[in-house]
Amino acid sequence: MPNVLDIRRRIRSVKSTRQITKAMKMVSAAKLRRAQERALAARPYAQLLTNVLRSLVQRADVTDPETGKAQHPLLETRPEQNIVLVVVTGDRGLAGGFNSNLLKAAQRFLDSKSGVNVDVECVGRKGRDYFRRRYPAQPATEERGAAVRVTGEHLGILKVPQFSHVSPIAEDIIDRYTNGEIDAVYVLFNEFKSVIAQRLVVEQVLPVGSIGERDIEQAIELSTEERERAGEAATSAGVSLEAQDTTEIDRHAATFATAPVDYIYEQPAVTLFRALLPRYVIAQIYRAMLESVAAEHAARMTAMDSATNNAGELIDSLTLTMNRARQAAITKEIIEIVSGAAAL
Amino acid sequence: MADTIELEIVTPERLVVKDKAEEIQIPGRNGYLGILPGHAPLITELAVGEITYVNAGVSTSLSVAWGFAEVLADKVTIIAEAAERAEDIDVPRAEAARERAQEQLKKAEDAAQFDEAYLAIARADARLAVAKKQ
């Protein structure tokens, strides 16, 4: 029979762990709320940009009428030989399967693109660590028949993703595309609509396809179980399950640059188009990061809620064992006394 | 015709301004534009510079770095990569950025580097000019 004192010590330790996980859950819930607000605040900009682009596409020729070639290098499609994969993970762990699911999906993506050179841009420490270990400095791994290189590491920008931090990363990728160094750009991230509506997606951002439509290569939805867990965690932390109401913002933004009037264009449509297209791509990448941050907090909140529940169960079962052990000890003592008395 | 225009300035991070104005000045790419109520519908790219608007006799300035404006008779919507009010501008930082850019300008070897440094100076100047008005 285990020692009562030992069990008591164990219970105390589990209790303090539970306190920590509970606190972490509440912190994540608060951070999640803020991240959601930020993602919401970014919507009008992206939406407005999309609208102008859309209305411009109708007015300007996006392909050269004579040669049939795209007017802008970002619209050009080439056979994929060198591609960039932007992997948006978290900087920190303790978020359940958040990071490992992302990395598993990244690996699957790399496997599906065998024979293609992939440059990986890591956003977040967890992804950086993984790719560094998996694909150390020497390029050209035999199994794939093509190289995987880590070309960029961006740590610490996810705490509060700022546009001014994200845009240089995106600009660098756009430059590489324009120079023909790469033929396609994919972003792997956790899409976040609400706590129970999330999915892991690989989105193609370059070449630009149809404006305003998203080009999802792969998507993994939450399982029903995961969704239920996340729902419970959110309810107990006071986070709304509903996706935020964006209809007002979207409706408002939808009118931008689409009024049924004849606009005076200060610059030729093609010039405007050229200025807007890179911004459109940057806005997409920015959005990916904002959503990923919200998803990370949601994942951590759920994980910590589970941990808190598990700790509670553990404490219950330990208390039971402890009581049993104490009872056994008392019974033993009584037997000793009684049999001692009987022996007299 | 109404005597004020609705003005909205949106950046990737937030809605910076939602206000009414009697008069707005925006830095178009081909030069500054003055906008009064009833302006003809217009779409323009913005350069680096300052947006000034007058509401009930009070004039407000914001620095802006690249953007895009839609002008309608009663509404002006601006999307900008960055837009800052005078009180949000970090003067020492803008000054430091200006000095850094000037160094780069001296060292610039090709047209692209020159342009980049020149743009950075313009951005810093716009910020400083707005900050001074406070």
Please state the pTM of the whole predicted model.
0.82
CB of B112 less than 8 A from some CB of A: no
Instruction: Say which of A48, A259, A271 has its CB closest to residue B41.
Output: A259
Distance (Å) from the C-alpha of residue A286 to the closest C-alpha of chain B?
Answer: 9
Instruction: Say which of B10, B43, B81 has its CB closest to residue A265.
Output: B43
In tens, the pLDDT along B62-85 reads 888 888 888 888 888 888 888 888
Q: Which residue has the higher pLDDT, A166 or A57?
A: A166
Q: Is A258 among the domain residues?
A: yes
Q: How deeply is A51 buried, as exposed, middle or buried, from its count of CB atoms within 10 A (0-12, 13-18, 19+)?
A: buried
CB of A52 less than 8 A from some CB of B: yes
Q: Is A318 among the domain residues?
A: no
> Looking at the predicted structure, is the pLDDT value of residue A60 above 80?
no
Q: Where are the beta strands (DSSP E) in A145-245?
A: 148-154, 184-194, 197-206, 216-221
Nearest CA in chain A to B79: A45
In tens, the pLDDT along A207-228 reads 887 676 677 777 777 777 777 8
Residue A139 pLDDT? 55
Instruction: Say which of A41, A257, A276 has its CB closest to residue B70.
Output: A257
Residue A321 pLDDT? 92
* CB-CB under 8 Å, A164 with B82: yes
Question: What is the rounded average pLDDT of the residues A157-162?
Answer: 83
As assigned by CATH, the class of the B90-131 domain is mainly alpha
With the C-alpha atoms ordered B84, B90, B94, B97, is the resulting torsion angle positive or negative?
A: negative
Contacts of A71 (CB under 8 A, 6+ apart): A60, A61, A62, A63, A64, A270, A273, A274
CB of A254 less than 8 A from some CB of B: no
Give the confidence band of A328 by pLDDT, cuts at 50, 70, 90: very high
- Return phi, psi of residue A274, to 5°: -65, -35
From the list A259, A284, A252, the residue with the least C-alpha distance to A50 is: A284
Residue type, A20: I
Q: Is A226 among the domain residues?
A: yes
For testing the chain B interface, which of A45, A157, A169, A293 should be mutated: the one with the most B CBs within 10 Å? A45
Q: Could you tell me which CATH number the domain at B5-87 has? A: 2.60.15.10
Q: How many domains does chain A fold into? A: 1
Q: Is A277 among the domain residues?
A: yes
pLDDT above 70 covers a percentage of chain A that reads: 86
> CB under 8 Å, gap of 24 or more: what pairs does A76-82 form?
A76/A207, A77/A207, A78/A180, A78/A183, A78/A184, A78/A207, A79/A183, A80/A113, A80/A116, A80/A183, A80/A184, A81/A116, A81/A117, A81/A183, A82/A116, A82/A117, A82/A118, A82/A119, A82/A181, A82/A182, A82/A183
Contacts of A268 (CB under 8 A, 6+ apart): A60
Cβ atoms of A99 and A93 within 8 Å: the answer is yes
Q: Where are the domains of chain B?
A: 5-87, 90-131
Distance (Å) from the C-alpha of residue A161 to the closest C-alpha of chain B?
Answer: 9
Can you give the residue range of the structural domain that contains A14?
10-308
The CATH code of the domain that includes A232 is 3.40.1380.10
SS3 A228: helix
* CB-CB under 8 Å, A163 with B81: yes
Pairwise CA distance, residues A212 & A49, whole Å: 9
> Looking at the predicted structure, is the pLDDT value of residue A69 above 70?
no
In tens, the pLDDT along A230-282 reads 878 777 777 777 766 666 666 666 666 666 677 788 888 778 888 888 888 88
Q: Is A337 among the domain residues?
A: no
Instruction: Say which of A45, A256, A276 has its CB closest to residue B12.
Output: A45
Give the tokens for residue A101: 């699911």
Pairwise CA distance, residues B18 & B14, whole Å: 11
